[in-house]
Amino acid sequence: MQSKQKNPQQVVTTKRNKTREYTILLPPSFVLAAGEVLQQSYIKLRQYGDPANPAVIVSGGVSASRAVADSADETGWWRQIVAKNGAIDLNRFCVIGFDFLPNPQETARTISTHDQARALLCALDILKITNIHAFVGASYGGMVALAFASLAPKRISRLCVLSAADRAHPAATALRGVQRRIIAFAQDHDAAGEGVALARQLAMFSYRTPEEFAERFGARPEGMAGAPFDVCKYLIARGDAYEMSAARYLALSDSLDRHNIDASCIHTNSLLIAINSDFLVPLESMRRLYRILPQAKLIELTSLYGHDAFLKEQTSIGPQIKQFIERQIR
């Protein structure tokens, strides 16, 4: 049953490093675009730095969380970018990270990037954060950033999108569709955890490039037929270490593929960062988005790391983000 409580629960977990933790109850009127009602109707945010500074929202891939930067008890997934004196400087900006829907034990499954953006907007309204200096989003987080800018263009001054386009590429959808069917098959055989691990292995392969795999791994077999090759051992380890539930994996995978926005309505000053080796979001998808956006700059970077470049190429990506969010816009 959806909670009827009107006031948000706002929990400050620590002030030692100016980090604030919020659990925001969404209003009873919040309904997903597909018509489903959330049973776990809340969104979690983490705020870094001085709230008096300009606000910068940061979001990443489906595995990312509100732990954007390092805190007293947690390592940030983008700590090389978001830090004091970093590309997104915590001395200058108040950074906001958030967790994507669905929450644990949620039964609703059809969640769009617009739903994620609307939930975030509700939370910002409750926290009375009206002006967003910049939204920096990578991968799925970039899709949510685009949806946010399309829904609330007057709330955001600048938009930085890395490895995300206005819609999913059919090749990426095909690969994710196989992952979802693997999980569904595993669920039918009471092996959801094993299904998620296998799907994650396939996903990890798509995040990198053939060249990077060739540089890291050999092709010589070890043992008899059936024994894993070195590269397979790596993928197996990454799959086994993944902790996302099957339900959440299916919901976010589907959300990636149903993402579709009208980019022509986004008049926000925008920076697009594309990776030449990205299989999931090819250069042409980013170039098409650039042609549609009224006020945009496109930077194309060369990387060995494919879609994972936003996590691996901080020395190339960081200065571009820093210059964009710190420069004056006339």
Q: Does the annotation mark 189 as catalytic?
A: no
CA gap 178, 6 in Å, rounded: 41
Identify the bridge partners of residue 89 per DSSP, sorted by sequence position.
83
For 4, phi and psi rounded to 5 degrees?
Answer: -100, 5
CA gap 290, 172 in Å, rounded: 20
Structure tokens at 103: 């929450």
Q: Does the annotation mark 262 as catalytic?
A: no
CA gap 201, 29 in Å, rounded: 39
Q: Does the annotation mark 114 as catalytic?
A: no
DSSP 167: B
Alpha-carbon separation of residue 285 from 6, 29, 143, 224 (angstroms): 42, 35, 13, 43
| Catalytically annotated residue among 89, 163, 255, 307 | 307
| Catalytically annotated residue among 89, 115, 278, 308 | 278
Alpha-carbon separation of residue 308 from 102, 164, 196, 208, 289 (angstroms): 23, 12, 20, 6, 20
For 108-145, what is the HEC assignment? Answer: CCCCCHHHHHHHHHHHHHHCCCCCEEEEEEECHHHHHH
| Catalytically annotated residue among 41, 71, 112, 139 | 139
Catalytic sites, residue numbers: 139, 278, 307
